Structure 1
Amino acid sequence: MEHLNSYLTIAAAFFIVTVSPGPANLALATVAMHSGRSAGLLFGLGLSVGLAFWGLIAATGLGVVVQGTTTLLTLLKLFGGAYLVWLAVQSGRSAARKMDQTATGAHKGGWFWRGLLLNLSNPKAVVAWMAALSMGLGQETDVHAVAAATLICAGLGFANYAGYALTFSLPGFMAGYRKSRRWIEGVAAGLFALAGFSLIRSALTR
């Protein structure tokens, strides 16, 4: 196949970026340990759709426009940073509550939208997409190859999120979460806050 090597290069680069610990994977692991497999998969599906959206932006060339439009990129970073700080506050409040005060099965329908919003508010996702696609595709690449590469990466993203949801919803992880919930939520709050304020600072200093 003509583009096989290019697809493998793109898939390898995107896989490394996708599986690396970050706000999305951290949030998904926490949701799966806290609320179980169903909530984790719904949250992961929302993350996947958000990731695919940025993939579409990158594949159509609009990623360059996003990167080059200072005002738009700044607004996206501010919104994304604010959302991460909000997640930090929610994790901090969860850490402060007793276990019997923490809802574990409510609002399942909201998990998809929370995951979607998290990845839609992450402007760094389009950078990851553009970097991965540029590693294997040249300027002369036809639209079908770009579409195929985008679908491969979207599939890898979905597989990654599904893997996180299925793994961290296993009984052992959920039991460990219940025992160390406050520590886990506290660490998550700190990491979300760090990522959020870093993104906000990046927006204000651009």
Structure 2
Amino acid sequence: MSLETWLVFAFLCFMAGVSPGPAVFLTISNVIRFGRRAAIISGSANAIGLVVLGLCIGYGLGGLMQASAFAFTMVKIVGGAYLVWLGIKSWRATGNFIAAEGGEIAPDEVSLFRTSFILSITNPKAIVIMGAMFPAFMQAESSLWLQSAIMATTYAFMCFIVHYAIAYMGEYIRPFFQSSQRLKYLRRVIGSLFVGFGLTLVATR
């Protein structure tokens, strides 16, 4: 892949990363509720998950999903069910409010990482985007492994930049949510978005 081609690919990856989706909303929720560190952990887990997913797609997962309607339907059901579960969990959350820190008690780092990682590798949006973009930039004469690694890493890095920016900008709006009532509304809005995403994925044919 030439430098010019890579720059075009990187730009498309960045635009895909900026578009609203479950992973973006999860990072927004984490930075407002738990702080910058939690959002960076979430964004890092999402990026690692995208690398894993991208490598799988580069080696044929995208083709499998296109060839098998049943396989893609199962991925959508699993991803949609996980989003609905996250939404219900957000609605039911009653985390303690800490006035001194302006947020809730954050889950441990392993829980934050696991939640975002699972969301990343079961996100049909990422599967569809990478499954559509990767073949368009693949070159038959070059190493499949190397090309898959480069494109997966590029996509993950561009998405991480977006999440990193959200983590830092989110700190400026956290003071607005230094209220248990506002945090409650935030949890319910984010939860509703997750449930909506999940049900849409399951219902879409």
Assess same fold via TM > 0.5: yes
Distance 2:61 2:107 in 1: 38
Alignment match, 1:178? 178
Question: What secondary structure, in the 3-state scheme, does the structure 1 residue paired with 2:105 have?
Answer: coil
TM-superposed deviation, 1:120: 1.4
How is 1:129-168 mapped onto 2 (pairs within 5 angstroms)?
129-135=130-136, 137-140=137-140, 142-143=142-143, 144-168=146-170
Which segment is superposed worse, 32-41 or 97-106?
Answer: 97-106
Distance 1:86 1:178 in 2: 26
TM-superposed deviation, 1:52: 1.2
How large is the Cα RMSD of the aligned pairs?
Answer: 2.3
Distance 1:61 1:98 in 2: 42
Preserved contact between residue 50 and residue 119 of structure 1 (Cα < 8 Å): yes
Distance 2:201 2:69 in 1: 14
TM-superposed deviation, 1:5: 2.0
The runs of 5 or more residues in structure 2 that have no matched partner are none
Letter of the structure 2 residue corresponding to residue 118 of structure 1: L
Deviations 1:90-113 (A, max 9, x none): 22123xx48549852342321001
Superposition TM-score, scaled by structure 1 size: 0.84
TM-superposed deviation, 1:167: 2.6
TM-superposed deviation, 1:132: 2.8
- Shift in alpha-carbon separation, 1:75–1:130, aligned structure 2, 3 A: closer
Letter of the structure 1 residue corresponding to residue 31 of structure 2: A
Alignment match, 1:28? 27
Report the count of equivalent residues.
Answer: 197
Alignment match, 2:194? 192
Letter of the structure 1 residue corresponding to residue 34 of structure 2: S
Letter of the structure 1 residue corresponding to residue 32 of structure 2: M
Distance 1:98 1:125 in 2: 30
- Shift in alpha-carbon separation, 1:145–1:70, aligned structure 2, 3 A: closer
Preserved contact between residue 57 and residue 126 of structure 1 (Cα < 8 Å): no
Distance 1:138 1:86 in 2: 36
